Each structure stands twice: as C-alpha cells, then as structure tokens.
Chain A
Amino acid sequence: NAGVTQTPKFQVLKTGQSMTLQCAQDMNHEYMSWYRQDPGMGLRLIHYSVGAGITDQGEVPNGYNVSRSTTEDFPLRLLSAAPSQTSVYFCASSSRIYQPQHFGDGTRLSIL
C-alpha cells in the first residue's frame, strides 16, 4: 500500500526551465492538493482538486498549473521556473472532505 507517491524527491532546475512534479495515490481518494513549504511560512496551498476533472486555485497559484485527468494522478507543472519557486513541495490526498489529508514524502526543488 504505497499511499501518496511523489516523484522526483530532489530536482535542480535553471531559471526558465519547465518541469512537472508527479503525484499519485492508490487509495481512490477524491480530494488532492499541492502545498509548498518555505522556512518560517508553514505550508501554503497552491492548487487543489475535489475530483477528476475539477481543479481550483489555492493561496499561491501563480506560476503553477495542474490537471486531474484521473482519480489517481495530480501533476503540478512549473511553466517557467523562477528562484522564488525554490521550495519543498508536498502532495496530499483525502478520502472525503474534512478527513485528514495523507501527505507524500515531498519534492525538494531548487531553482538556480
């Protein structure tokens, strides 16, 4: 039972490059979210999804895109990486609304 799987675990990008952070869950959860964690700021919501085909913006969505074509997968795309996007990114899922969210192990992303 893998839970929430994020890949890659580490990535270094150059400014202007694009990439996709992968997130997959095998628990058939409807709700999925992406957060970023920065020192002294806790976790902030980037985008979330309440089911396949439905996504919406969170607190800090600029510079990121998401899609939810299947229940299992919720990839996060950086369109043109900027140093301000250097962060640790967490994907989370939950079975029903207001249930505890299960988090992946995170992706540590550095933009040079």
Chain B
Amino acid sequence: AQKVTQAQTEISVVEKEDVTLDCVYETRDTTYYLFWYKQPPSGELVFLIRRNSFDEQNEISGRYSWNFQKSTSSFNFTITASQVVDSAVYFCALSEARGATNKLIFGTGTLLAVQP
C-alpha cells in the first residue's frame, strides 16, 4: 500500500536558520511521482515541486532545495535562510503510475513556524 509519512508535526525556527522537512514514502510501484505543496495561513495550496521516480537529481530553486533518495525512500525539503513568509504547513504527496488514476496520497503535513 502507498503511504507518505511526515514525522515532524511542527518545527519552529528563527529567521535565517536553515530547516529541513522530512518526507518518507512507501510504494510497491517502480514508477511514481512525488510532490511538495505549501499551505500558507491563508489556506490555499501552492504547488512547489514534482519529481518522478527515475530522476534522482537534487533540485534547487532559490532558497528551496529537495533531496530525493530512492535508497531510503525519502524526499526531503530544505529551506535555506528561512524567512517569516516561509511560515506555512508543508505537505509531501505521492502519486503512483499504476492504474493511471492521478490520485494523490498526502502526508499529514509539517507546520513550519519561522520566528522573526
């Protein structure tokens, strides 16, 4: 069965600190897709990144970076030099290719609070 685990329920950091949000997934498929979404206090869900199971290259976008390791079934998200505007709930999600349903399985989310 597919599952996404975000063990960190809440993280609090001080502005300019680096922070890593963990995501561990379970799937029996060899082809799958991983996503990160951000939910700021205003409540909308904002897409951050998609990664497929065949692309293990790490990705950097500004202060954001993602580390995908198939060997440990992890897709961790690091924010460098955090800012107050980064305060949000962050969700990791998994979509399996099998069945072609486009279903997303979400983790329970990590609430990040960045203090000024």
Contacts and interface: CB of A to CB of B under 8 A. Distances in A.
Interface of A: 31, 33, 35, 40-45, 48, 50, 56, 58-59, 88, 90, 92, 94, 97-103, 105-106
Nearest to A56: B101
A98 B96 CA distance: 8
B45 A90 contact: yes
Interface stretch (B56-64, B78-86, B105-113): B105-113
Interface of B: 4, 6, 9, 33, 35, 37, 43-45, 47, 50, 52, 91, 93, 95, 97, 100-109
A82 B45 CA distance: 26
Contact of B108 (A35, A42, A98): A42
A81 B1 CA distance: 30
A97 B108 contact: no
B50 A41 contact: no
Contact of A106 (B37, B43, B106, B107): B43
Contacts of A94: 102
B104 A33 contact: yes
Contacts of A58: 103
Most B-side CB within 10 Å, residue of A42, A45, A50: A42
B3 to A, nearest CB: 11
A45 B95 CA distance: 12
A98 B102 contact: yes
Contact of B101 (A35, A50, A101): A50
Given A102-B47, A103-B45, A42 B106 contact: yes
Contacts of A97: 100-102
B59 to A, nearest CB: 14
Given A42-B106, A100-B35, 16 more contacts: A33-B104, A41-B108, A43-B104, A43-B106, A44-B106, A48-B101, A48-B102, A58-B103, A92-B104, A94-B102, A97-B100, A97-B102, A98-B52, A99-B50, A103-B37, A106-B43
A97 B100 CA distance: 7
